[in-house]
Structure 1
Amino acid sequence: MNMECASHEISSSDENTNLVGVESVVQSWMIDYYFATLCRHFKARSAPEFHKALKIFEALVDELESCSHRSDHPSQRTICCFLARVIDGENLDVRYDRNAHITPLMSALPIWESLKEASDTALHAKIKTLLIVQSVAVCVKKGNSQLAKETLQWLEKETEIPEKLQGKLTTIVSKKDAYDQLLMNFTFNQLLESVDVFLDTFSLERSSVFLIEAASKVVQARHERSEKTLSEQDRSDRTPTSPESIQSEENEEQVDPLVQNMRPKRKLLSKQTHDLWKPETAMKERTTCKRISICKVSRRSSSPSELQSNVSVMSKTRRKWTVEEDRKLKAGVRKHGEGNWRMILNDYEFNNRTGVNLKDRWRTLKSKGEDF
């Protein structure tokens, strides 16, 4: 009797382990699928559909952040952060940064810099130049000369601009010339098309499209079966129907072999009902704190005044650091090195904390002699 109980416990443990592994792989496929979907919407310039898919993608990546066998999730997330800012590039009412004066394209620049290893050198340099030019150009074309001036000043401090390019942009801002030859040569459409080229290269080299391929096979099988059914119905309308032919058609319609093979077998996991993962329950804990970092995927606010109000309210209260936040900070320092707070914010969620907050906390952890 005791041996039977022990055997049952071992079996249950194995099944739970399998369940966790299966869920992780399925979520991984879903991330690949939504990444491909986001790339498709970006290329179609469909901002509404892009942002719908973006919310799902962010939730999936957050759920699978600790997955060890998928090292490409961080770069996929970073790319989607970049795409979101570029697709909103001409909308000066949208903000992704805590600073209300940072436009989407300005916010996209440091993210693009972090993707240097993921892109061709020449293409990376071209897109960087387009981002710099268009960050200023969008403000000039919208008639916001003050923001254009502030943008150029920010660019001069935050990134390296060739001296010749800097001089031309200064002239454009001072003259408020939206039709300068430089702006005609480095257009927003060219920026979008260059990003398309980058996405094609990245997707070809790294991204898996298993779900898309599997779904395509199912759709193709259904289409072929539908055509076959229509053809048989057409023949039956012209010829008498025998009992044997009716039985044959019923047998053919019972099972689609391809679909049957692609269905998960219940015995792979368990016949018992364990605490299965459900999207709505898995997300309950996340809904209490909104993801806000330099690489926040979705928008912060469509109203700069609303953003400023939220920031002032948050600054009045000091939140205690959680064990999970400490863990992420340590992991970030191990990955990027001490002092690279922006890169750490890019990869991990710290719920509205700044690089200064991370620096101060890191100093505190070191003074306590924490094990890193």
Structure 2
Amino acid sequence: MEAASQEISSTSEKTNVEKTDNVIQAWIIDYYFATLCRLFKERAHDEFRKTMKIFEVLVDGLDACPQRSDLPAQRTICCFLTRVMDGKNLGIRYDDRVEITPLMSALTIWDLLKSYTDSALHSKIQKLLTVQSVVVCVKSGNAKIAKETMKWLQEQNVVPENLQRMLATILKKKDSCDQPLLNLSFEELMEDIDTFLETFNQQSSSVFLIEAASKVVQGCQERSDESIETEKSDDTPSTTQSTKPKHKRKLLSQRRSGPWGANSIKKEEATLKRTNVYNILSTSSVPLKMETPTRSPTKARRKWTYEEDQRLKAGVRKFGVGHWKEILNEFDFGNRTGVNLKDRWRNLQNHRLHV
């Protein structure tokens, strides 16, 4: 009987520890989400992407947390933000369908966030996403992709009739500087998304960890100020007693160890194990054919370099033959695709150059 009671107690304690861990991890996710919102507002693309990799691993590895119903929304918002940040990069893909550009993918995800913003702001951002999906292609000289994007938008029934006429004119003239578009710029889109993020964070996200850290930092500053005042007082001639210097207790540890140390974040690809439909970060890159008004583009086959062959061999050793997507994500091959890697590996086999 006593053994059974101890077993129940042990099980209950383990459950409480797991729940506590989930709550703490949710606070950590809140911190990284707030950081991502700040980096998005600062347009700090490189830092944003580095932080997003950490966020993706954390949020996709977190068990269900009943106390926090907003975590799925945070994940969906981050899926949206990464696509908008890469909106002008037509060589990045987030979907299996090659023709879906980052902004087209963002438009699909934005529809899932309708309940997290007021209808007016949601409609405005949707309109800006629609316009910029086409304008970005025109500005980059990709009229073909612009036409394919326009066709996709019409199939999705997200383009009002007046907007269709405006975009059709842009495609015809291949000019994105028409007067009606001046108030529908990419920067306007980014600023409206900033407004959405501010509202969401005020209503939904917890800032407990940030507030707690701020109090610790403030406490350190106050202790430092008190110490300076004490030293000044000790140096005055009126001091009659000598006192031993007091060692200040450090509120912030100087050691960077434990699970949040500088070398603790392992480089790995997060796997979506739950019912998450969308990848947070981009899945692949595609080569783009830039169109010129004078002649049709010709396919120029870029020769494989010795360094690229070595990367391909290293990728096959690490992931195995056929895992071209993983190899592309791990190693830099420029704009080469998985098909390019497959063909090159076959050639290496035929010439007995592989490891």
Q: Do both proteins adopt the same fold according to a TM-score greater than 0.5, normalized to the shorter chain?
A: yes
Q: Is the 8 A contact 2:22 2:63 kept in 1?
A: no
* Alpha-carbon spacing, 1:299–1:217, altered in 2? closer, same or farther (3 Å): same
2:198 corresponding residue in structure 1: 200
1:226 corresponding residue in structure 2: 224
More helix by share: 1
Counting aligned pairs with the same residue, the percent is 49
Paired residues for 1:242-281 under 5 Å? 242=241, 245-246=243-244, 249-250=246-247, 253-254=248-249
Partner Cα distance (2:31, 2:117) in 1: 21
Partner Cα distance (2:112, 2:56) in 1: 19
Partner Cα distance (2:206, 2:47) in 1: 21
Q: Is the 8 A contact 2:133 2:149 kept in 1?
A: yes
Give CA deviations for 1:113-143 in whole Å, capped at 9, x if unaligned.
1111111100000000000000000011111
Structure 2 letter corresponding to 1:102: I
Structure 2 letter corresponding to 1:242: Q
Structure 2 letter corresponding to 1:15: E
Q: Is the 8 A contact 1:97 1:294 kept in 2?
A: no
Greater CA deviation, 211-220 or 98-107? 98-107
2:339 corresponding residue in structure 1: 309
1:297 corresponding residue in structure 2: 280
Structure 2 letter corresponding to 1:132: T
Offset at residue 294 of structure 1 (A): 4.9
Match of 1:13 among 11, 14, 25: 11
Give CA deviations for 1:238-288 in whole Å, capped at 9, x if unaligned.
345735x427x35xx3486xx89xxxxxxxxxxxxxxxx9799x999x858
Partner Cα distance (1:119, 1:130) in 2: 16
Runs of 4+ in structure 1 deviating by more than 4 angstroms, as ranges, are: 5-8, 277-280, 286-294, 304-308, 310-313
Structure 2 letter corresponding to 1:309: V
Scaled by the length of structure 2, what TM-score is found? 0.73
Root mean square deviation of aligned Cα? 3.2
Offset at residue 183 of structure 1 (A): 2.5
2:160 corresponding residue in structure 1: 162
Match of 1:42 among 40, 43, 46: 40
Match of 1:77 among 48, 66, 75: 75
Could you list the runs of 5+ residues in structure 2 that have no partner in the other structure? 288-334, 344-355
Give CA deviations for 1:19-72 in whole Å, capped at 9, x if unaligned.
111101101101111111111110111111111111111111112252233211
2:50 corresponding residue in structure 1: 52
Give CA deviations for 1:322-359 in whole Å, capped at 9, x if unaligned.
xxxxxxxxxxxxxxxxxxxxxxxxxxxxxxxxxxxxxx
Could you list the runs of 5+ residues in structure 1 that have no partner in the other structure? 261-276, 314-372
Number of residues of Structure 1 aligned to a counterpart in Structure 2: 287
